Amino acid sequence: MVGESSQSVHSCNIYIKQLTMIWQVQMEFIPGNPTIWVAQLNPGDPIYEYDNEPEAQAKATELQSQDPTGRQYRVVQLS
């Protein structure tokens, strides 16, 4: 068309790496001894990892309340 200018449009893809935080439930390896923390006691035990802290904390609370040994549980951020 007459009178219109043509503009070149360049598209570029920008990739943003989204950092997903991972929250892991850990337990005392030896009940009553908070120096060694583990994600599982035995190779067949599940590892509980979540992408948000509230869910991880809820699971840690649940597991601690069901643990007859008195073992303490915590939530740690892995990255």
- The pLDDT value recorded for residue 48 is 98
Residue 11 included in any domain: no
Residue 70 included in any domain: yes
Residue 54 included in any domain: yes
Instruction: For 52-71, write each residue's pLDDT tens digit.
Output: 999 999 999 999 999 999 99
pTM of the model: 0.75
Residue 8 included in any domain: no
Which element (helix H / strand E) includes 75? strand 73-77
Residue 18 included in any domain: no
Residue 68 included in any domain: yes
With a cut of 50, list the residues of the chain below it in pLDDT. Answer: none
Residues in the chain: 79
Phi, psi angle pair for 56, to nearest 5°? -65, -40
Nearest C-alpha neighbor of 25 from the set 68, 51, 59, 70 = 59
Q: Which domain holds residue 57?
A: 23-77
- The pLDDT value recorded for residue 38 is 98
- Tally the domains of the chain: 1
